[in-house]
Amino acid sequence: EETDLNLVMQRLCVMPKVNPNHKRLVVITGGEEATYIATKDEFLEFKPPAVPPDEIIDTNGAGDAFVGGFLSQFTQRKELDECVRIGHLAAGEVIRNNGCTFGDVPPS
């Protein structure tokens, strides 16, 4: 019943974990609006780079692409802002193509 996103994410963060040695990280993507990240101690909001509407071809796979980009950095212990930046780049590239594909030139 709760509608406050910050509160919902904070409640998720304090749920029991199998591995208590690492704090829980909650990530919620909101498309072009924002990506939200919460831990027990903080709530962060990241605005994705704008994609001109005429460049959007297919949004299928955008969330999966974000996760792939995010985790590619997270597993290397990069800072959260860099994880999100790469996730946004991957999603932004996928939506500019038909299906979950990348173009011929990697995003810069």
Active site residues: 64
**β pairing state of 43-46 and 35-38:** antiparallel
Dist. CA 24–CA 99, nearest whole Å: 32
Q: What percent of the chain has pLDDT over 70?
A: 93
List pLDDT tens digits, range 5-48.
Answer: 989 999 999 999 899 888 899 999 999 999 999 988 899 999 99
For residue 106, name the pLDDT band (cuts at 50, 70, 90).
low
What is the value of pTM for the model shown? 0.86
φ, ψ of residue 26 to 5 degrees: the values are -110, 125
Q: Where are the alpha helices (DSSP H) in the chain?
A: 5-13, 62-74, 80-94
